[in-house]
Structure 1
Amino acid sequence: MVVVTGGSAGLGQAVVERLSALGATVVVLDRQPPADAEVPFVEVDLAVSTDAERAVGRVLDEHGAVDAVVTCAGIDVPGRLDDVAGADWDRVLAVNLLGTAAVVRAALPSLRECRGRVVTVCSTLGHHAVSDGTAYCASKFGVVGFTRALMAEVRDEVGVTLLTPGGMHTRFFDDRTEQYKPPADARLADPVQVADAVIFALTRPDGVEVKELVITGPSEGTWP
């Protein structure tokens, strides 16, 4: 059974659809239910670490084990540091970094028992800092550090992959002002193709792990 955070939209939805098509049991952790009502769903605000941990506990109670975790949930509130409200800035860190850690932490005993896999979804802005992105960059740089440290910590117990996508054709940019949206002619990646990279990482045979993957559109400006 695979837990997918943020599985109700964007990359998370694409991952859920690909996994479901392959016959996997998937449980979505999100604030909104997935479009497919047949997909098991736990409503949770991933900005609250204790709630995230309880949600994983509920999944374990209902399904018995977690074989894999994919952390697609992510938000952003772009703007200069002194223009973004403190609560908004903190929430970006809470969802993107602390929520990721809380879900993995809660699932880790089950993952160890079944020698499962974790895919954390980072961003090119977890490697490349930009102005007006202090919260998002801090959170995603944190995901990079968290994931690489986790790799070292659970080596030979749990497979861990750091997935770094560039900009994608999702609703992620919809609520932004024009200055923070990609230009109309931007060649963004198809989230379905990025989801295929998640599937690739999750389905490697025993003895092979994908440590890191970078997937972007051909004209991505934030990589390398």
Structure 2
Amino acid sequence: MSTPGRVLITGGASGLGAATAEAVAEAGGRPLVIDREPPRAGPPYIPVDVTDTAAAERAVVELAEQAGGLDAVFTAAGIDVPGPFGKVSTEDWENVVKINLLGTAAVIRAALPYLESSGGTVVTVASTLGIKAVGDATAYCASKWGVVGFTRALAAETAGRIGVTLLIPGGMHTSFFDSRDEQYKPPPDAKLNQPDNVARTVLYALSQPPGCQVREMVVCASEEGSWP
């Protein structure tokens, strides 16, 4: 497997983002992190809330210039505020879309010149709820379905210039569910994946030889309830 190189990771301080940052470092690559909180392992880091698209774009450029370019971007930053559509506040609903979809686009937009220069790869993070809709998740489904459509369109637009992979993960054992009301938390016996397992699939997507693309991956626990 080739070295992943300089990999910019949003949401790299926790959950799947942190697991991927660690996997990149272990594989001999250089993780670069954008997050609201500092990462544990201490890679180059800029504190940014990706709802501020201008700040996110500036952070991408700053980290890329520090690293002398980028070889990959992994957009792991994401949130959810579940609840009935009429009861989730407008601010919370729009914030989910801003972080999950608009933040993803802002980071990739800023990184695109560097990726085109290196022939690098983008790996976006959708969700099994980006291909399967459920109630009390209108904001999350809208944002993740948007990531699916955005990623597929980006792959078509940039074919032959950069690599584009859509990652569709199922539920994972992370802090993602911690702030939810009890009714929206997975039950104790829920079949969830480990983020380290999913991180290894990201490295697999980044390790493909020139001209070969892993376009889409659904990665979940073998008894995942949200797929198929």
User: TM class by shorter-chain length?
Assistant: over 0.9
Please state how far the C-alpha of 1:5 moved relative to its aligned partner.
0.4
What aligned pairs does 1:1-224 form with structure 2 within 5 A after superposition?
1-37=6-42, 39-224=43-228
Alpha-carbon distance in structure 2 between the residues aligned to 1:171 and 1:186: 14
- Partners of 1:220 and 1:61 in 2: CA distance: 40
Instruction: Map Cα deviations across residues 65-108 of structure 1 (whole Å, 9 max, x no partner).
Output: 11100000000000111111111111100000000000000000
Partner of 1:47, secondary structure, is: coil
* Preserved contact between residue 44 and residue 63 of structure 2 (Cα < 8 Å): no
Aligned residue type for 1:5: T
Give the distance between the partners of 2:117 and 2:130, measured in 1 at CA.
30
Distance 1:34 1:56 in 2: 16
Which amino acid is the alignment partner of residue 127 of structure 1? I
Distance in 2 of aligned mates of 1:123 and 1:89: 17
Structure 1 length-normalised TM = 0.98
Moved over 2 A (4+): none
Cα distance, 1:187 vs structure 2:
1.2
Task: Flag structure 2 segments of 5+ consecutive residues without an equivalent.
Answer: 1-5
**RMSD over aligned Cα atoms:** 0.7
Residue type matched to 1:218 in 2? S
SS in 2 for 1:162: strand
Q: Distance in 2 between matches of 1:60 and 1:118?
A: 14
Specify the code of the residue in structure 2 equivalent to 1:191. P
* Separation of aligned partners in 1, 2:191 and 2:134: 19
Using structure 2 for the length normalisation, give the TM-score: 0.96
- In 2, distance between residues paired with 1:163 and 1:142? 13
Q: How many angstroms does 1:207 deviate by?
A: 2.1
SS at match of 1:106: helix
Give the counterpart letter for 2:90 in structure 1. G
Sequence identity percentage: 55
SS in 1 for 2:168: strand
1:31-62, Cα deviation, whole Å (9 max, x unpaired): 0000112x110110001111111111111232
Q: Distance in 2 between matches of 1:189 and 1:62?
A: 34
The residue type equivalent to 1:18 in the other structure is A
Rounded Cα–Cα distance in structure 2 between residues aligned with 1:218 and 1:21: 26
Aligned residues: 223
The C-alpha deviation readout for 1:167-222, integer Å capped at 9, x for no partner, is 00000001111110111101100110000100000011112110000001111111
Q: State the distance in 1 between where 2:185 and 2:64 align.
A: 39
